């Protein structure tokens, strides 16, 4: 597969009116600027949905120095610039509403394809909310799931810390540039997240944490995970936006029940009325998603818990298909004759059991 050139992708992202649809149409025809500028068939530009002003802006683009500065800053801060149309772009974000054209990632790239759960909620939670977050986030993280949140005060912060305290992996998605730690008081938390996890943003370096950035951030949080857990939320809450986006993306939503007379529970109560699953423990989430838990004894002799699995015939077939070498996801769909969603569910279960791993390019391999 020929990948889009990073400088060309950054240029496209800077042209007014070029969103995901036009961007993808352009990179289907051109992988770099030289190809674009050397094209003399104006019909291709029209097929890409570009108007004369946009074509002119691209052909006469003069902000290459800004792009060079972005790439230099990325190298200096050890940030990976991931562009839509490149093989390391997270597959989970390809089909969300308005997939980000550019992602800035600091930390472990391979975690973008690991089984993940988002935990979100109030910035001013009750002690009950904090305790439930620690219980659920810690339990899920200790079983190998990546805990994703937004590094805000309150529930987000508790979820990240619980994952870290239980030896797990956590990741934060920013509503500002990757070089801006927000809130400022979470610099130490960001450093701890980076020890095993990652920080991610779609916003260019230097972008301030403006209020309108966070709903956009939330669609990435919900897009990266298998499920969203809302712990405490008022009737109008950013956490409910994340939950709504998760529903639109076909993800499962869980809500932690709270006191009916507590305003911070009204949002979660409404979610439960609308069909969200009840979450009072990590097992509620794992069980609802079909992941079984059984106690085992680790090498240290200390009792731990991990995901156990009895292979059914279809799961065994997938293990057999990838046994001789990595197999593409589409190949598994074709050979088994199931819907992609069913194959995804089976692969996820095998992933959590430690039997298979995802590799770049949507390949599945034996662990």
The pair of structure tokens assigned to 327 is: 């197999």
Model pTM score: 0.81
Q: Alpha-carbon distance 94 to 339, whole Å?
A: 18
Q: What digits encode the pLDDT tens for the residues 264-288?
A: 899 999 999 999 999 999 999 988 8
Please work out, in degrees rounded to the nearest 5, the angle formed at the alpha carbon of residue 186 by the alpha carbons of 185 and 192.
145
Q: What digits encode the pLDDT tens for the residues 225-255?
A: 999 999 999 888 889 999 999 899 989 999 9
Query: Collapsing DSSP states into helix, strand and coil, what is residue 296?
Result: strand
Average pLDDT value for residue range 307-332: 79
pLDDT at 304 over 50: no
Report the pLDDT value the prediction gives residue 33, as an integer from 0 to 100: 96
The pair of structure tokens assigned to 320 is: 């057999």
Q: What digits encode the pLDDT tens for the residues 143-181?
A: 889 999 999 999 999 999 999 999 999 999 999 999 999
Which residue, among 326, 124, 366, has the nearest Cα to 238 in the 3D structure?
124
CATH of 109-288, one of 3.40.50.2000, 3.40.640.10, 3.40.50.300, 3.40.50.450: 3.40.50.450
Q: Alpha-carbon distance 47 to 65, whole Å?
A: 29
- Quick one: fold of 309-366? Arc Repressor Mutant, subunit A (1.10.10)
**What are the boundaries of each domain within the chain?**
1-76, 109-288, 309-366
CB contact set of 265 (below 8 Å; sequence gap of 6+): 232, 257, 258, 259
């Amino acid at each position: 597969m020929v990948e889009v050139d990073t400088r060309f992708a950054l240029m496209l992202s800077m042209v007014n009116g070029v969103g995901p649809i036009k961007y993808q149409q352009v990179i289907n025809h051109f992988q770099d600027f030289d190809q674009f500028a050397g094209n003399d068939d104006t019909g291709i530009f029209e097929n890409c949905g570009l108007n004369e002003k946009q074509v002119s802006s691209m052909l006469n683009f003069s902000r290459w120095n800004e792009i060079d500065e972005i790439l230099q800053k990325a190298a200096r801060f050890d940030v990976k610039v991931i562009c839509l149309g490149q093989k390391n772009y997270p597959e989970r974000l390809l089909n969300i509403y308005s997939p980000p054209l550019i992602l800035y990632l600091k930390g472990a790239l391979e975690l973008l394809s690991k089984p993940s759960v988002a935990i979100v909620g109030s910035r001013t939670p009750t002690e009950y909310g904090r305790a439930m977050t620690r219980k659920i986030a810690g339990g899920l993280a200790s079983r190998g799931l990546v805990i994703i949140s937004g590094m805000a005060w309150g529930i987000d912060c508790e979820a990240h810390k619980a994952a870290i305290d239980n030896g797990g992996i956590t990741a934060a998605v920013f509503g500002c540039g990757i070089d801006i730690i927000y809130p400022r008081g979470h610099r130490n938390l960001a450093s701890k997240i980076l020890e095993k996890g990652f920080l991610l943003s779609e916003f260019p370096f230097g972008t301030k944490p403006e209020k309108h950035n966070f709903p956009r951030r939330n669609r990435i949080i919900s897009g990266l995970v298998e499920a969203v857990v809302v712990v405490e939320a008022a009737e109008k809450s950013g956490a409910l936006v994340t939950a709504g986006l998760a529903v639109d993306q076909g993800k499962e939503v869980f809500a932690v029940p709270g006191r009916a007379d507590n305003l911070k529970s009204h949002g979660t109560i409404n979610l439960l009325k609308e069909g969200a699953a009840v979450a009072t423990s990590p097992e509620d989430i794992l069980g609802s998603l079909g992941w079984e838990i059984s106690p085992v004894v680790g090498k240290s002799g200390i009792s731990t818990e991990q995901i156990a699995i009895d292979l059914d015939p279809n799961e065994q077939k997938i293990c057999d298909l990838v046994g001789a070498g990595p197999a593409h996801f589409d190949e598994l769909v074709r050979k088994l004759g199931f819907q992609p969603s069913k194959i995804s569910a089976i692969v996820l279960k095998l992933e959590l059991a430690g039997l298979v791993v995802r590799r770049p390019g949507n390949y599945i391999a034996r662990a």
